Amino acid sequence: MLNIYIIRHGQDEDNAQKILNGRRDKPLTKKGVKQAQKIRDKIIKSKIKFNKIYSSPLKRAHQTAKIISSKNNFPSPIILENLTERDFGSMSGKPVSKITDICFPKIIKTEKVVYFLKAKNSETFPQLIKRGEGVINQVKKENKDGNVLLVTHGDIGKMIYASFYGLKWEEVLKKFYFNNTDLILLSKSASQKNQKVIKKI
């Protein structure tokens, strides 16, 4: 049986400054490093063993992956390009507070975040969910059983979730907030109704 876990990277410099990062390649903050160390220690305590770790190539995710693999005797992270965050296009580097002003009415507003649906040169969520499906298919092809960890980002992470469960992207954007170092178990055996997320360990 194959268990796929996904985790969002720790806080990076853009997160701390409330800047839309997308594919901007900023490193973890001190807080982000501590977040990654904390989830690593919880994984050790839970005795989950990962046979393989895949990581986005962006610094914030790859740093997180390396911290998790350290002290755990896990294999070194494998770069998987399709785990890269959504391309935010012209919204990259913009303040989070400006999303509504710039992108209205093409937004989805939730309790914790506002998602823009379209911007110049940006990746759309229909495109992103197809990329998420590709990630799931590749991981299943390369791994028949055991535990696999995907270290990724907020928007693409949610679309991987949507692809795995066959949910609509709009539904998943509203379903939960994927916070820094939240760990999610993707499992058909879990109750999808109660899989709001997040496997707290």
What is the pTM (predicted TM-score) of this model?
Answer: 0.94
Q: pLDDT tens digits for 132-176? A: 999 999 999 999 999 999 999 999 999 999 999 999 999 999 999
9, 62, 123, 153: which one is catalytic?
9
Does the annotation count 62 as an active-site position?
no
Those residues whose C-beta lies under 8 Å from the C-beta of residue 126, and which sit 6 or more positions away, are 169
62, 85, 123, 153: which one is catalytic?
85
Q: How far apart are CA 173 and CA 47, in angstroms?
A: 31
- In the chain, the domains with their CATH numbers are 2-86+123-194 (3.40.50.1240)
Does the annotation count 153 as an active-site position?
no
Please provide the average confidence, as pLDDT, over all residues in the chain: 93
> In the sheet that 52-55 helps form, which strands lie side by side, from edge to edge?
78-79, 52-55, 146-152, 2-8, 183-186
